[in-house]
Amino acid sequence: MIIGIPSESTDRETRIAMSPSVSKLLISKGFEVLIEKGAGLQSHFLDLEYESAGAKIVSKDEAYSADIIAKINPPNSKEIKLLKNGSVLISLMFAITNPDLIKNCATQGLSAFSLDAIPRTSLAQSMDVLSSQANLAGYKSVLLGGANMGKIFPMLMTSAGTIKPSTVVIFGAGVAGLQAIATAKRLGANVWVSDIRPETKEQVESLGGKFIEVEADDSIKTEGGYVKGVSDEFLKKQQQVVAEKLAIADLVITTALIPGKKAPLLISDQMLSNMKQGTVIVDMAVSQGGNCAGSELNKTVIKNGVKIIGEGNLPGTMPINASELFAKNIHNFLIHLTSENKFDWNMEDEITSGSLMVKEGEIIQDYLKEALSTQAV
């Protein structure tokens, strides 16, 4: 089976879906790997490294003519037309919010797997690109916040007096949040954490964080490890409880996302006005509307003396590690989906049935059919 790896055309994307080391691994298992010329340069992978691993360096058109196309971000409408009928696309798709992408895949006669739809199960952990990338993002969010603060993280005793440790407040104890907790604690900060799922308290405390408890209600809906819904009333109650901690925070990191929906607003204008001058907020949900009032995608803004950082692609600021992990996820996913040089198409398998959006031009997921029919009306 031939795997094509085109360059990423999305603005500010520095990652690539395949590393030289994983190319070598796939080739050893019978795959052929085609890399578009120069596609790995922004991830600091040279064409020569891919060739040394056994991959072939080709043009964009040749990369898109492969049996399997693996990307981080999905191809745009022009690029989709470069894929041959019957080929398989594997990428992040966020299908429910990208109906035109799904329609284009179907029109082109493709099969398409959405990496963000891989179920969050034990078996799928090694394929979970959202987790591997969020892990890196959580780490970088602390470093980015620290670089923009006017103080250090740890307590420091000096001849001129003692410096008190910084206070870090983290919204969300998912993969990104837990890595942010661990990183901030390693750097010596006091860490407070808020999450709408009470079951995360034990994980937070095991990393040295202090859990901000908010009484849960029936509006909280979780599925497969993701929060699917929460009421405005609960969010208001959460804001009231964490407002006290925000008032003393030096760094705030927000990570709350709801798949297929706008990110919930966790920090209002009123809460911003009560925060200390010089506080830094890293809004990790900015690409889906943001958790903080006033945050702007790929910009740093100052509001009421608070610096709000809206970096939309934190993993992309660490492209070497991010690309390597993404490539390993792709490898594990492909090995799971295929046998004897062909796809199994096993719809009894929850990983296949959950992540397959389109098969040979036919839209598979009922929720996508419904969303597209509603759009047509």
**Residues of 295-320 as b/e, b for ≥16 C-beta within 10 angstroms?**
beeeebeebeebbbbbbbbbbbbbbe
- In the block, tokens 């409408």 appear at 77
Residue 124 lies in a domain: no
Q: What is the CATH number of the domain that holds 31?
A: 3.40.50.720
Active site residue: 131, 288, 323, 365, which one? 131
Q: Are residue 191 and residue 210 in the same domain, yes or no?
A: yes
Rounded mean pLDDT, 3-29: 97
CA distance 73 to 89: 11
252, 280 contact by CB (below 8 A): yes
Specify the 3-state DSSP secondary structure of 346. coil
From 65, 67, 120, 353, active-site residue: 120
Structural domain includes residue 371: no
Shared-domain flag, residues 101 and 157: no
Query: What is d(CA 71, CA 17) in angstroms, rounded to the nearest whole number?
Result: 5
**Is residue 126 a part of any domain in this protein?**
no
Cα–Cα nearest to 331, from 70, 56, 66, 112: 70
Q: Which of 40-54, 61-75, 214-228, 356-370 has the lowest mean pLDDT?
A: 214-228
Q: Is the pLDDT of residue 235 over 80?
A: no
Mean pLDDT of 71-76: 96
Per-residue DSSP letter, 7: P
Tell me: pLDDT of 377 over 60. Answer: no
Q: Examine the pLDDT at 67 and tell me if it is beyond 90.
A: yes
Residue 128 lies in a domain: no
Those residues with Cβ within 8 angstroms of residue 121's Cβ, 6 or more apart along the chain or in another chain? 224, 350, 351
* pLDDT range class, residue 218, cuts 50, 70, 90: low
- Does 120 qualify as catalytic in the annotation? yes
DSSP state of 39: T
Q: Which of 226, 268, 349, 353 is catalytic?
A: 226
Is there a single domain that holds both residue 307 and residue 328? no
Percentage, residues of the chain above pLDDT 70: 95
C-alpha distance from residue 128 to each of 125, 200, 257, 286 (Å): 5, 20, 16, 21
Q: What rounded mean pLDDT belongs to the chain? A: 94
Predicted confidence band of residue 373 (pLDDT cuts 50, 70, 90): confident
> Is the predicted pLDDT of residue 227 greater than 80, yes or no?
no
Residues 255 and 173 placed together within one structural domain of the fold: yes
The pLDDT value recorded for residue 217 is 61
| 312 and 325, same domain (yes or no) | no
Tell me, yes or no, whether 336 and 312 share the same domain: no
CA distance 162 to 234: 40
What number is the average pLDDT over the span 197-225? 80
Q: In this structure, are 205 and 229 located in the same domain? A: yes
Q: Structural domain tally of the chain?
A: 2
Contact between 219 and 197 under an 8 Å Cβ cutoff? The reply is no
Question: Which of 317, 333, 353 is the last residue in one of the domains?
Answer: 317
In our burial notation (b when 16+ CB lie closer than 10 A, e otherwise), range 156-189 reads eeeeeeeeebbbbbbbbbbbbbbbbbbbbbebeb
DSSP conformation letters of 60-97: HHHHHTSSEEE-SSPP-HHHHTTSPTT-EEEE---GGG
pLDDT above 90 (res 5): yes
* Residue 376, domain member (yes or no): no
Indicate whether 284 and 165 sit together in one domain.
yes
User: 1 CB contacts (<8 Å, ≥6 apart)?
Assistant: 30, 31, 32, 67, 68, 338, 341, 342
> Do residues 110 and 156 share a domain?
no
Given the residues 125, 219, 270, 339, select the one marked as catalytic.
Answer: 125
**pLDDT digits 0-9 by tens, 117-142:** 999 999 999 999 999 999 999 999 99
> Above 60 in pLDDT, residue 9?
yes
Confidence at residue 229, expressed as pLDDT on a 0 to 100 scale: 57
For residues 308 and 327, state if they share a domain.
Answer: no
Asked if residue 125 is part of any domain, the answer here is no
Least confident of 144-158, 231-245, 305-319: 231-245
pLDDT at 62 exceeding the cut of 60: yes
Domain of residue 57, residue span? 2-117+319-363
What gap in Å lies between CA 237 and CA 330, rounded to an integer? Answer: 40
Contact status, residue 137 vs residue 284, Cβ threshold 8 Å = yes
**pLDDT digits 0-9 by tens, 257-278:** 888 789 989 999 999 999 999 9
What pLDDT, on a 0 to 100 scale, did the predictor assign at position 275?
96
The reply to whether 145 and 97 lie within a common domain is no
DSSP for 252-316, please give it: EEE----TTSPPPP-B-HHHHHTSPTT-EEEETTGGGT-SBTT--TT-EEEETTEEEE--S-SGG
Answer yes or no: do 308 and 274 share one domain: yes
Is 128 a residue of the active site? yes
Q: Which residue has the higher pLDDT, 225 or 350?
A: 350
User: Is 295 contained in some domain?
Assistant: yes
Average the pLDDT over 206-221 and give the result: 79
- Final residue of a structural domain among 317, 342, 372: 317
Task: Name residues whose C-beta falls within 8 Å of residue 54's C-beta, 6 or more positions apart in sequence.
Answer: 23, 24, 27, 33
| Percent of the chain at pLDDT exceeding 90 | 86
User: Is-catalytic flag, 226?
Assistant: yes
**Helix, strand and coil in the chain, % to nearest 5:** 40, 20, 40
In a domain, 224, yes or no: yes
Residue of 43, 114, 128, 250 marked active site: 128
Using the 3D structure, point to which of 299, 317, 335 is the last residue of a domain.
317
Tens digit of pLDDT for each residue in 171-184?
A: 999 999 999 999 99
Distance CA 70, CA 31 (A): 13
Output the pLDDT for position 140: 98
pLDDT for 225 equals 54
* Tokens linked to 349: 């398998």
